[in-house]
Amino acid sequence: MTTVNEETARALRALESDDPSVRLRAALAVGTARDPEAVDGLVERCAVEPDFSVREMLTWALTRHPPAATVPKLLSEVRSGSARARSQALHTLSKIGDRRAWPVITPALLSDADDEVARSAWRAAVVLVPEGGEHELAVALATQLGRGGRETRLSLSRALIALGEPMLPVLAAAATDPGPHVRAHAIATERLWHDPDAGFGFAVEEAKRVVALGGAGQEG
């Protein structure tokens, strides 16, 4: 056991390297070893890691550990961490998929001012939502329709679509919203649901035309 701890400590130190390839290998080593002593170090590094590929490997390493060891620490990051820490913690919770984490998904989190935090919250929410809670979650997500740029809107559309049919009445209501950006986003999401091969860009342009003509875009 001592040898494993020493190897883990060495790998955790390597996570501080200036070279992202060194950090990537270190995260792989920590995940492979599955040493419970590494969880704190992995969570701490997630909060500050600038490289996307390394962050993904850190998340993978955390998923290799029992949820009982990782979920409480990730929940703490969601509640009190920096924007990057919160976003990555939510991403990791979505990969772990332990529904005991659901209570952290609050309306305030789903509408967080930071787009990356909000997008991570939307993705986590559709994974963690308890059975039967899909419609209520769709209602909460719909409050964000029309928000942000293309990537943010696409993330929200994907989250809503992942909820399945319970979100359709919510989109129908949003398609009559007074705000043109909300209407267009709702219509685009519904069209993407019906024709996922059309692509988001095409759905958005079609929705804009519908809104410009004063329609709600409901299929007959």
Cα–Cα separations (whole angstroms), residue 33 to 5, 11, 12, 186: 9, 10, 12, 46
Q: Give per-residue pLDDT as tens, 12-49.
A: 999 999 999 999 999 999 999 999 999 999 999 999 99
Segment 174-191 mean pLDDT: 92
| Residue 196 confidence (pLDDT) | 77
Containing 162, the helix (H) or strand (E) segment is: helix 150-162
Domain 1-65 - what CATH class? mainly alpha
Sign of the Cα torsion 21, 59, 13, 18 reads positive
Better-scored residue on pLDDT, 9 or 55 = 55
Q: Taking the complete model, does pTM exceed 0.75, yes or no?
A: yes
- Give the 3-state secondary structure of residue 163: coil
Q: Please tell me the predicted confidence (pLDDT) of residue 205.
A: 63
User: Going by C-beta distance under 8 Å and a sequence separation of 6 or more, which residues neighbour residue 77?
Assistant: 43, 46, 47, 85, 86, 88, 89
Q: Where are the domains positioned within the chain? A: 1-65, 135-220
Residues above pLDDT 90, as percent of the chain: 79
